[in-house]
Structure 1
Amino acid sequence: MTNSLKQRATNHTVLTVSIAVSALVVLWGAVSPNGFGAATTWLFNHVVADLSWFFLLTANIFLVFVLYLGLSSHGRIKLGADHDRPQFGRMSWFAMMFQAGMGPAIIFWGLAEPLSHYVEVPFELAPPGTDEAAGVAIQYSFFHWALHPWAIYAVAGLAVAYFTHRKGERGLLSAIFRPLLGDRVDGPLGKVIDVLAVLAVVFGIAVALGQAGLQMTAGLGKTFGLPTGIIVQLVVLALTTAAFMGSATTRIEHGIKWLSNISMLIAPVLLIFYVVVGPSITQINAFTEGLGDYLSEIVPMSFRLDAFSPDNGWMGSWTVFYWSWWIAWAPYVGLFMARISRGRTIREFVAATVLVPSVVSMIWIAVFGGAALHLARSGLAGDIAQTVQESPAAGMFVFIQQYPLAGVMSVITLVVLWVFFVAGADAGTVVLGELSTGGEPNPKTWVRLLWGVLLAGVAAVLLVSGGLEGLQKASVLTGTPFAIILVGICVAFHKALRQDRDHLAQAPRSTAEESEDRPRETEVASDVR
């Protein structure tokens, strides 16, 4: 066989296997939702009981690794040829990074999580419903949304960007392992890595779609009085699927870019409005105090397991869920980050993908979580904390009803959620198409449409079989095997970087770090999403 035919057969294998596994999951969940839910619950309980330590340690490794890369001499290495310049200005680059990494998730949890921790305080660090509990709630919300998740994304993003832009490899996770495995990455072992990456993306995006569907349904119920049961959830999912399938049939810059620009215009409106009408001083204080608590306690929080407690339920519902979810999203977000980062240095990449988005995430949590905790402490909104504890998806809309222009702001929130929902799913079909067709940057429309159907099917199965808990369990289960792959990526990436050390030893400081960017704004802005 010629190399071209071999490559085509290889790509066909990854596509066929990953689609078959995804379709089997959908079929199992559709035929026997109770059996599917029971099986995932059993596996989830064992993972949380036996492997929580693994998630904590690997997340810490990823954070230390990317900070080391940014601060060490490796930070001067360009993600591309030495003469490459950045393709985008810093502001648009930052905006695209943040939207890729969080999407609608922070709208869902940015308010619901602090209120949940206020009622059920992590590790019983404070009595529930107290000032101390409110402080711990902000602190742990920062912990779950700041440095660690962005470092997980950065590991995959840096590695993909380095190997594609600087080494000329295809945009596949398996290609990163060439320094360790040699040409075996082109054989069955490499295909296993690629299939696991595809499945991680499928379930990671399906969890996000399911959560967005839950929140949109709750918002429709609170705003227009519509029912919020599983039937309505599936109808919302179906309508949104139709929308992103339509977007998937257009050129990437006509679909994803248009939707992404809308979402990045609307989301800041929500933030600014609730700073103006909300308890501004409380929100500023929540950010300041929360930042101090987070930074001073980051090491204990990063290793806390409550080792001698027989019940690890809180860890499974929160920290382990988040770390596994970010890990499952890593190939998707990493590929996105890589494609918009040609010409940047590793140091710039770390700053843009770890430090800046962490600050933005903390500001969002301080504004919405701080205002929600203020309502809970003052009793102005009844028992809002307990209400959100019982229905996290409704949290944002219960909150909105306590402030002026509730109807208008509810509609705006529904719009931004829907746009995030559609843009994220559409981008997911692009990434899945690329990963499953040998790194093809512009996968065929039929491949994207097929992945769109399967994403909606997996999200629907997870909703029917377990609702929010089912979504969380699926994330933990898919993130577990991919965490091992990310550790291998760190080893392979570091080995490849050492080969550049001598080359840069005598090189002058990169112009990318010396002077202002002269970006080349091109259509690539849309190629990613």
Structure 2
Amino acid sequence: MDHVKVGRLGPFPRVSKPVFLTSAILILAFIIFGAFFNELASEVFGQAKAFVSMRFGWFFILVVNLTLVMSIYLIFSRYGDIRLGHQNETPEYNIVSWIGMLFSAGIGIGLLYWGTAEPLYHFMAPPLGEPESIAAAKQAMNISFLHYGLHVWAIYGMVALSLAYFHYRRGLPLAIRSTLYPLLGKKIYGPMGHIVDTLAVFGTMFGVVTTLGLGVLQINSGLESLFGIPNNITVQIILIAFITMLAGLSLLMGLDKGIKRLSDINIFFTIVLLSFVIILGPTQFIFNSFFENIGNYLHQVIPLGLWTESYEGEANWQSSWTVFYWAWWISWSPFVGVFVARISRGRTIREFILGVLLIPITILFLWFTAFGGSAVHMELMAAVDPNMVSPGLVEAVKADTGSAIFKLMESYPFTAALNGLIVVMIVLWFVTSSDSASFVIDMLTSGGDTNPPKIQRLFWAGTEGVIAAVLLAAGGLGALQAASIVSGFPFAVVIVIMMYSLLRGLSRDRLILYRNQQRFITEESAEHNSANEFRDEELLTGPPSLKPTDE
């Protein structure tokens, strides 16, 4: 019988030994190298980032555009009415709950870090055109929307759809290896499957660690603003240790009492903060520019999405921004993909893709307009009005990117309370991101087990904290970006193969549905129906022998 082989390994009661051991050894080697050869590690990380981003930046751009094209194709294709589950099944969650969970997947530390800082940065140093001009302001919003818009959610959507389809429709484990079943067949339970899941673990680990590192940098900036606590690596490592301990406590409380409760609290805080900024800020400008920004983005999404700096000579702006973002989101995609797949049973493919593409970006675009757009607007107004004093937001970004949102809050009442709330939100996102990522990594290293043991989750949560500390010590933001780009590259290849595999699976699925419809129309004999019934059911749900079991 073929299955994902799992068993005990030391204190860990349920692991797929090839995936767990390979992932753990590679990550341990990375930690040792970064911790004991700090200067060499910083140099190697920088060179690796430069090589991958400069030589293969075009490949990242190709992959993310392919995911968007395929998403649009599936919306309008004959596959759109296929359900993620039995064809007559209803959605597991109602539309309001599903939207709420998609919202929680779309907000995180990265949004708090870059939501104000990124538009300001592109405004003061645009890749094209004159800095700190109206054209630069529009370009800044276009680029920010690009980095958090349709391309991002197309990546997440393709990975999530592939996982959900092969799990709910074919009965295969909720693991990345299952998405390659039409190409590999039962070989997904052998070395090829182990390699694919290991790449997913590696990518998820460093994608999440990048986010955690950014979160700690910003928490340190907030504490410096509030209490004058020094902004240095020692404080940041202490913060990582403290928050990783909180993440461990949350894991011990379980999904419902831990991760879910903290996520609900943070979503509430997010809505409160966003509403406060809109109501007490330049409200009319926010709503006016929100719609204009969307129009500008849609007008520029194709040229911006395919821009490779090919006519700018040796320019490397994209390696620090767009290519970094694409690699970062690709690294995150196994984590987000598993989460979105788990909440989407019973939805049609068309409904799934429309929801994943459109719901999160609407919220994200409003956030960027309210925070980043307002910050740029303040700087523009100060430049043309001699009676208005500049709020100093551009200078804050130049000095410390993570401090931008705290500096913006100085233009609002209750500054200290707002900055305190932002610090709490970053801590909570840190904890829930670490918890959720540990859960997903543990699923991947335990053969797709949807409820892996807590001791294993604690191991991975602790590992994330250690790697975040090592990366910050070995080069700060540059090392974090390098880790994302390098770890995202191999999984970008997996995504291309995954999309082809999904099309193969959908084509076969659609053929079965057509044959079943023809069977009813022509009223074939009961004997003929009986002869084909088992084969059709096997194609739709997967043979029983392919479902993972314990040894």
TM-score bin, normalised by smaller chain: over 0.9
2:360 paired residue number: 357
Q: Is the 8 A contact 2:120 2:376 kept in 1?
A: yes
Question: 1:106 is matched with which residue: 111, 116, 119?
Answer: 111
1:345 paired with 2:348, answer: yes
Q: Secondary structure at the match of 1:251?
A: helix
Name 1:45's counterpart in structure 2. 50
Between 31-40 and 84-93, the greater mean CA deviation after superposition: 84-93
**Contact 1:86–1:343 (Cα < 8 Å) also in 2:** yes
For residue 18 of structure 1, what is the amino acid of its counterpart?
Answer: S
How far apart in 1 are the matches of 2:517 and 2:274?
A: 44
Q: Distance in 1 between matches of 2:90 and 2:451?
A: 23
Aligned pair partner of 1:258 in 261, 265, 279:
261
- Cα separation, 2, equivalents of 1:253 and 1:76: 32
Tell me if 1:378 matches 2:387. no
Q: Which is worse superposed, 498-507 or 335-344?
A: 498-507
2:99 to 94, 103, 115: 94
Cα-to-partner distance string for 1:425-445 (whole Å, 9 max, x where unaligned): 111111011011100111111
- Structure 1 residues 85-94 or 60-69, which shifts more? 85-94
Q: Which amino acid aligns with 2:493?
A: I
TM-superposed CA distance for 1:312, in Å, is 3.4
**Residue in structure 2 matched with residue 511 of structure 1 by the alignment:** none
Q: Any idea what SS the aligned residue of 2:347 has?
A: coil
1:325 and 2:308 correspond: no
Distance 2:398 2:66 in 1: 32
Q: Which residue of 1 aligns with 2:527?
A: none
Query: How far has the Cα of 1:51 moved from its partner?
Result: 0.8
Q: Which residue of 2 aligns with 1:133?
A: 136
SS at match of 1:249: helix
Partner residue in 1 for 2:508: 499
Q: Which of the two has higher C-alpha Rg?
A: 2
CA distance in 1, matches of 2:123, 2:486: 28
- SS at structure 1 position matched to 2:411: coil
In the aligned structure 2, how far is the partner of 1:225 from the partner of 1:46? 39
Equivalent in the alignment of 1:452: 461
Match of 2:208 among 197, 205, 210: 205
Q: In the aligned structure 1, how far is the partner of 2:238 from the partner of 2:4?
A: 43
Equivalent-residue separation in structure 2 for 1:385 and 1:264 (angstroms): 29
Question: Does the 8 Å contact 2:16/2:445 carry over to 1?
Answer: yes
SS across alignment from 1:88: coil
1:405 maps to 414
Correspondence 1:416-455 to 2 at 5 A: 416-455=425-464
Partner of 1:465: 474
Aligned residues: 505
Kindly indicate whether the alpha-carbon contact (under 8 Å) linking 1:48 and 1:312 is maintained by their aligned counterparts in 2: no
Q: Kindly, what percent of the aligned residue pairs are identical?
A: 35
- How has the CA–CA distance of structure 1 residues 390 and 316 changed in structure 2, closer, same or farther, with 3 Å as cutoff? farther
Q: CA deviation at 1:107?
A: 1.2
Alignment correspondent of 1:160: 163
Indicate if the aligned counterparts of 1:115 and 1:389 stay in contact, CA closer than 8 A. Answer: no
Question: Offset at 1:183?
Answer: 1.6
User: Does the 8 Å CA contact 1:49/1:312 hold for their aligned counterparts?
Assistant: no
Taking the aligned partners of 1:459 and 1:311, their CA distance within structure 2 comes to 31
Q: Which residues of structure 2 form unaligned runs of 5+?
A: 9-14, 383-388, 519-551
Counterparts of 2:485 and 2:4, CA distance in 1: 37
Native 8 Å contact 2:119 2:144 kept in 1 = yes
Distance 1:315 1:231 in 2: 31
Asked if structure 1 preserves the Cα contact closer than 8 Å seen for 2:42 and 2:474, the reply is yes
Q: Distance in 1 between matches of 2:347 and 2:61?
A: 30
CA distance in 2, matches of 1:441, 1:33: 37
1:308 and 2:317 correspond: no
**SS of aligned partner of 1:401:** helix
Write the letter of the residue equivalent to 1:483. Answer: A
1:27 equivalenced with 2:32 (yes/no)? yes
Partners of 2:379 and 2:391 within 8 A in 1: yes
Deviation of the 1:5 alpha carbon: 8.9
Deviation per CA, 1:230-250: give whole Å up to 9, x if none. Answer: 111111111100000111112
- Normalising by structure 1, we get a TM-score of 0.93
1:84 match: secondary structure:
coil
Q: Deviations over 1:447-475 (max 9, x none)?
A: 10110111011111111111112111111
Q: Secondary structure at the match of 1:87?
A: coil
RMSD of Structure 2 on Structure 1 (CA): 1.6
**Partner letter of residue 61 of structure 2?**
L
1:214 and 2:217 aligned: yes
**1:228 counterpart SS class:** coil
Partners in 1 of 2:98 and 2:242 — Cα distance? 31
Amino acid at match of 1:426: D
Q: CA deviation at 1:3?
A: 5.4
Residue by residue, what CA displacement relative to the aligned partner does 1:172-229 show, whole Å, maximum 9, x if unpaired? 1111111011121111111100100000010011001101111111111112211111
Aligned to 1:194: 197
User: Contact (CA 8 Å) 1:381, 1:402: kept in 2 or not?
Assistant: no
After TM superposition, the structure 1 = structure 2 runs for residues 140-155 of structure 1, keeping only pairs within 5 Å, are 140-155=143-158
Partners in 1 of 2:195 and 2:357 — Cα distance? 29
Residues 190, 5 of structure 1: CA spacing in aligned structure 2 closer, same or farther, 3 A cutoff? closer
- Kindly indicate whether the alpha-carbon contact (under 8 Å) linking 1:63 and 1:148 is maintained by their aligned counterparts in 2: yes
Secondary structure, aligned partner of 2:253: coil
TM-score, length-scaled by structure 2: 0.89
Are 1:80 and 2:85 an aligned pair? yes
Structure 1 contact 434–442 (Cα < 8 Å) conserved: yes
AA aligned opposite 1:447: Q
Give the letter for the 1:110 counterpart.
G
Question: Structure 1 pair 482/102, CA: closer, same or farther in 2 (3 Å)?
Answer: farther
1:213–1:5 CA distance, 2 compared to 1 (3 A): closer
Query: What is aligned with 1:527?
Result: none
Contact 1:112 1:389 in 2 (8 A): no
Amino acid at match of 1:174: R
- The alignment partner of 2:475 has SS state of helix
SS at match of 1:202: helix
